[in-house]
């Protein structure tokens, strides 16, 4: 078992959990009525798309284990980018609330 096979379920699990956090944050932004005055919901939607893409690519590499090192690396990069976007969205949301 190489390192890629052990990393795939972790990316899938973390990305699906953070996708749920994105949905909660998008709902909170919409309910608070601040979606028109900020870019928070757009940033969260981009992060959610990144996490969904990472989930799909990780699932694909788990189901098709032949030669999927590049797919898993791409899922890893997308996951990291979406995590950075979610971090900035949470910072902006906290600043908007305070």
pLDDT at 5: 53
pLDDT in tens, 25-78: 889 888 888 777 778 889 999 999 999 999 999 999 888 878 788 888 899 999
89, 43 Cβ separation under 8 angstroms: yes
Q: What is the pLDDT of residues 50-59, one digit of tens each?
A: 999 999 999 9
Q: What domain range includes position 22?
A: 3-97
Treating both helix axes as pointing N-terminal to C-terminal, what angle do 69-97 and 40-63 enclose, rounded to 10 degrees? 160
Give residue 4's pLDDT: 47
> How many domains in the chain?
1
């Amino acid at each position: 078992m190489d390192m890629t096979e052990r990393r795939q379920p972790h990316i899938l699990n973390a990305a699906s959990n953070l996708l749920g956090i994105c949905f909660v944050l998008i709902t909170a932004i919409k309910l608070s009525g601040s979606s028109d005055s900020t870019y928070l919901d757009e940033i969260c939607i981009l992060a959610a798309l990144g996490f969904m893409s990472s989930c799909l690519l990780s699932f694909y590499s788990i189901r098709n284990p032949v030669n999927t090192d590049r797919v898993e690396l791409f899922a890893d990069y997308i996951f990291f980018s979406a995590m950075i976007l979610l971090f900035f969205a949470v910072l902006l949301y906290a600043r908007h609330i305070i």
